[in-house]
Amino acid sequence: MQFLGQSILSIEQFDRAGVKTLFDTARRLEPYAARKLRTSVLDGTVLANLFFEPSTRTRVSFGVAFNRLGGFVRDTSGMQSTSLTKGESLFDTGRVIGGYADVMVVRYPEEGAVAEFAAATNIPVINAGDGPGEHPTQALLDAFTMEKELAARGKTVDGMHIVLSGDMKYGRTVHSLSKLLSLYQNVRFTFVSPAELRCPAKILDYVRARGHRVEETEDLAGALASADVLYATRLQKERLPEGTSLTYSEGFCVNRALMDKAAPKDIIIMHPLPRDGRMGANDLSDDLNGDDRLAIFKQTDNGVAVRMALFAEVLGVADKIEDTTRPVGWFVP
Ligand code: NCD
């Protein structure tokens, strides 16, 4: 695949070679993301970071990734602060911002909307989540983390049993990650969800068509017995049709008791975050904090290097990163 000047709207744009290129660049950028080295390869560039839906880590990590390459960031946050509330079209907004910035990151609550921004401009647009559609950069940082964590256990993603649990219907990270993992060989997928939140058939078909084994169940404990990775997710309450009230039953709560009882000892526990810590949410429990199996903060840390790599590839500077390398002169713990 080609990165230069491209918008990144869906994981379907990637092939295995493209993933390898990106991850090789991300590995080179890890010391910069960890503030062991600095580079100013994107000196003078501007990122427009437009988030029309709530976000903490995705918005900040995109901005930080751009800053750590030496670029400037302009943010908008929320619908209310923008002219979309005055009736402006996505096309007009996309066209206007395209005249100001070198690259745009967009999160929007409707599937397909980020593609509308991309159609309005000739600068690259990166999808940071379009409603229940896709979240390609989250999938990339998830797969990057999986590769690293599995390698530490002497394994590769090929041949693994990946259990995805929670809201498979509205969870866009699951949709993008399933497509991305389909690029690997012989993966076994188990989708665990309440009956109302099953994974869309188009995603299951996509994965099956690439030769992988796909199962669906409501029994998380049963699915975990042979799992190499658990990818748990939050109930996407904001996407439920009005008047619907759904909650995860206790069987979906990923806590120490469940993992000790039902899962292999070297399982990798992942979650795109945020986890819902409210009473009765039955999301990933914080009683696993500090547990070696928990990779959630490795995911968030890796997100910076992976997003830096994507900017470097799309803006065509990946081979120039080291030209401006300098030491870091400030306090880094
Ligand atoms: C996810 C999202 O926005 O889809 N969050 C994220 O970007 N890490 C998952 C979620 O909100 O549950």
pLDDT at residue 104 is higher than 90? yes
Catalytic residue among 25, 39, 45, 58: 58
Protein residue with least CA distance to atom 11, ligand 1? 274
In this prediction, residue 117 carries a pLDDT of 97
Average pLDDT over every residue of 229-245? 96
* pLDDT more than 90, % of the chain: 98
Ligand 1 centre distance from Cα of residue 274 (Å): 6
Determine whether 198 is an active site residue: no
Average pLDDT over every residue of 265-280? 97
Ligand 1 centre distance from Cα of residue 234 (Å): 8
In this prediction, residue 296 carries a pLDDT of 98
Q: Which of 11, 49, 51, 58 to mutate to test the pocket of ligand 1 (most atoms within 8 A of CB)?
A: 58
DSSP letters for 280-327: T---S-GGGTT-TTB-HHHHHHHHHHHHHHHHHHHTT-GGGGGGG-EE
Please state, rounded to an integer, the average pLDDT across all residues of the chain.
Answer: 97
Determine whether 244 is an active site residue: no
DSSP letters for 115-165: HHHHHT-SS-EEEEEETTS--HHHHHHHHHHHHHHHHTTT--STT-EEEEE
pLDDT confidence tier of residue 144, bands split at 50, 70 and 90 = very high
Which residue reads 């950028």 in tokens?
29
In this prediction, residue 81 carries a pLDDT of 86
Determine whether 135 is an active site residue: yes
Catalytic residue among 86, 202, 261, 265: 86
Average pLDDT over every residue of 86-105? 97
Q: What is the pLDDT of residues 16-31, one digit of tens each?
A: 999 999 999 999 999 9
Q: How far apart are CA 57 and CA 62, in angstroms?
A: 8
Catalytic residue among 59, 135, 175, 179: 135
Average pLDDT over every residue of 227-247? 96
In this prediction, residue 188 carries a pLDDT of 98
In this prediction, residue 80 carries a pLDDT of 87
Determine whether 107 is an active site residue: yes
Q: What is the pLDDT of residues 164-219, one digit of tens each?
A: 999 999 999 999 999 999 999 999 999 999 999 999 999 999 999 999 999 999 99
Determine whether 86 is an active site residue: yes
In this prediction, residue 260 carries a pLDDT of 98
In this prediction, residue 225 carries a pLDDT of 98
